[in-house]
Amino acid sequence: MTALAPPQPTRTAALVAYDLWKLYGDRPVVQGVGFSLYPGEVLGLLGPNGAGKTTTVGMLYGAVAPTRGFVQIGSTTVQDDGRRARAQMGIVTQEDNLDPDFSVIENLMHFAHHYRIHGAAARRLAGELLAQVNLQDYANHEIFELSGGLKRRLVLARSLINQPQVVFLDEPTTGLDPDARQEFWKLVSDLKQRGCGVLLTTHYMDEAQRLCDRLILLQQGQVIDQGTPTELIDRTVGKDVVEIEGIEAAAVQQLANQAETWIRAFGSGYILALPNTDSLGLWEQLTALNPTRLTRRQANLEDVFLRLTGSVLS
């Protein structure tokens, strides 16, 4: 397994993680994780609970000290000069952690003080950021008056005060309704267009498939695969899958074995990959079994996780 994806020669990486390991006692939580993140790219870090995502992200922005390896943002090593490195980062954690004693714009102005931006300059910058995330009409609202989606937008605006090169989004849309998620997706696309490198963790596979240029899949602290969403789906599953219910396991397994295709128990039935060249007529044979439910659909990232880890994200 290659620890580090080599940088593309014509591009300069915004962030590079070199052979990251984290051990707690003798127990490895992260093992040899390495990758590059480029300006204007959204990179997804995905994996089931316990895969090491949180620890990895913590090492990326300096909250967790690696047992081995290091992280660079530009020419700065996070582990050697955390203050300078974090000045080039924006971080959106799962918690809103906004100050309820300040209004919306005051939250941004107060945070700007950490970067020695005060007075009229802080107010002007706060106003620009509120406009960037479509919160200008809420500038004087109190935090308790904001919906969950509006709070997430405000946290994103706060993370952009220092004009970061890299933005970390740790499950940014968890708990949001579909409309709020769509609005947040637009903001992430805007960050990409502005040239930010974005590292995203999420449990929503539609979100990862929609936003990410590349994905890194973690399991038990190791990279088990990486690539574009399309590459991972095609390589791991194929074009189409079949969901089937109401058939004896032995009959479905026999057909899957004959077609040399992947099969997993799923819900009250089974899911199996339909070979791209179905020379044995697997679909027709499954139909002839008269199942209570038979669905053919395009493969997606949920299928990739089911194939590689035996589970889906939730």
Q: Residue 313 has what pLDDT?
A: 41
Mean pLDDT over the full length of the chain? 90
Tens of pLDDT, residues 154-187: 999 999 999 999 999 998 998 888 888 999 999 9
Its pTM surpasses 0.75 = yes
Considering the domain boundaries, does residue 170 fall inside one?
no
Which of helix, strand or coil describes residue 4? coil
What is d(CA 194, CA 201) in angstroms, rounded to the nearest whole number? 20
Angle at 302 between CA 311 and CA 37, to 5 degrees: 105
For residue 74, is pLDDT > 90?
no
Q: What is the largest CA-CA distance in the chain?
A: 74
Considering the domain boundaries, does residue 143 fall inside one?
no
Considering the domain boundaries, does residue 282 fall inside one?
yes
What residue numbers bound the domain in which 281 lies? 238-298
Q: Residues with Cβ < 8 Å from 22, sequence gap 6 or more?
A: 28, 29, 30, 52, 55, 56, 59, 64, 66, 67, 221
Question: Given pLDDT bands bounded at 50, 70 and 90, which one contains residue 55?
Answer: very high
Query: Can you give the CATH number for the domain in which 287 is found?
Result: 3.30.70.260
Which residues, listed in sequence order, are joined to residue 297 by a DSSP beta bridge? 241
Which of helix, strand or coil describes residue 62? coil
Mean pLDDT of 260-265: 88
Considering the domain boundaries, does residue 259 fall inside one?
yes
Tens of pLDDT, residues 281-298: 888 899 999 999 999 999
Tens of pLDDT, residues 111-135: 999 999 999 999 999 999 999 999 9
Range list of β-strands (E), 156-268: 166-170, 197-201, 214-219, 222-227, 240-245, 263-266
Range list of β-strands (E), the chain: 15-24, 27-37, 42-46, 68-73, 76-77, 89-92, 166-170, 197-201, 214-219, 222-227, 240-245, 263-266, 269-274, 293-298
Considering the domain boundaries, does residue 281 fall inside one?
yes
Considering the domain boundaries, does residue 160 fall inside one?
no
For residue 10, is pLDDT > 70?
no
For residue 314, is pLDDT > 80?
no
Question: Given pLDDT bands bounded at 50, 70 and 90, which one contains residue 190?
Answer: very high
Q: Locate 138 and state its tokens.
A: 């809420």
Q: Mean pLDDT lowest for which of 68-72, 156-160, 218-222, 278-282?
A: 278-282
Q: Which residue type, as a one-letter code, is found at position 110?
A: H
What is d(CA 140, CA 288) in angstroms, rounded to the nearest whole number? 65
Which of helix, strand or coil describes residue 2? coil
Q: Residue 266 has what pLDDT?
A: 82
Q: Residue 157 has what pLDDT?
A: 94
What is the total count of domains within the chain? 1
Q: Are 267 and 172 in contact (CB under 8 A)?
A: no
Considering the domain boundaries, does residue 65 fall inside one?
no
Residue with the larger pLDDT of the pair 13 and 313: 13
For residue 2, is pLDDT > 50?
no
Mean pLDDT of 23-45: 95
